[in-house]
Amino acid sequence: MPALPPINFSKWIEENKHKLQPPVGAFPLYQDSTFVVMAVGGPNRRTDYHINQTDEFFYQYKGDMILKVCEDGVFRDIPIKEGELFVLPANTPHSPQRFENTVGLVIESKRAPDAIDQLQWYCDKCKNVIVNKQFHVEGLDLGAKLKPLIEEYYASDEQRTCKECGNLHQPPAPVK
């Protein structure tokens, strides 16, 4: 496979802001046999936690973001400031929180055909997993795969109701 041409990332962002839309805001730049490279823009409003079987590399190009994680049942926020790099270990539930006029670069391993990604939502009150959706990522547009799963979850009161405590998980405020 021939090498792909370089991309002027600053220029690409200016010309393609419209491709970085909620709820995920991700757009693929490169995919080869090993990596998927995505530009990810803000703002977003996500309450789901993504679980990927491989490490994820974050570079915060413009503005700051918060990466919410759940490690061994403990929730915490990891601030990633403009210019910072971060590697998230495989199988760590995470929820990227991106603010208006922010842009990051995310690099993930291309999924094997049998690899399963997950989206899950936790109860705001008791922290029980409300819903876990498993799916295969085919192709390179993760954002396109996540959007219908997120919309389906928010459209259903039944899915958003915690089986442990009965709390109804509210959708996030819309992005303007």
- 7 within domain boundaries: no
CATH of the domain at 116: 2.60.120.10
How far apart (Å, rounded) are the C-alpha atoms in residues 139 and 115?
13
Residue type present at position 140: L
Backbone angles phi, psi at 160, to 5 degrees: -85, 0
How far apart (Å, rounded) are the C-alpha atoms in residues 84 and 154?
32
Q: How confident is the model at residue 34 (pLDDT cuts 50, 70, 90)?
A: confident
Write down the pLDDT at residue 174.
Answer: 67
**Considering its fold, how many domains does the chain have in total?**
1
SS3 state at 66 = strand
Domain containing 111 equals 14-160
- 3 within domain boundaries: no
Tokens 């709820």 correspond to what residue? 23
- 173 within domain boundaries: no
Q: How confident is the model at residue 1 (pLDDT cuts 50, 70, 90)?
A: low
Task: Render pLDDT for 42-91 as a digit per residue (tens, 0 to 9).
Answer: 998 889 999 999 999 999 999 999 999 999 999 999 999 999 999 999 99
- 176 within domain boundaries: no
Q: Which region among 20-34, 37-51, 127-141 has the lowest average model confidence (pLDDT)?
A: 20-34
Asked whether the beta carbons of 86 and 67 are under 8 A apart, the reply is yes
Task: Render pLDDT for 151-166 as a digit per residue (tens, 0 to 9).
Answer: 999 999 999 999 999 9
Closest CA to 117 of 149, 80, 151, 85: 149
Torsion of CA 152, 154, 158, 163, to 10 degrees: 110
- 131 within domain boundaries: yes
- 60 within domain boundaries: yes
- 42 within domain boundaries: yes
How far apart (Å, rounded) are the C-alpha atoms in residues 153 and 115?
22
| Dihedral sign from CA coordinates of 30, 52, 62, 13 | positive
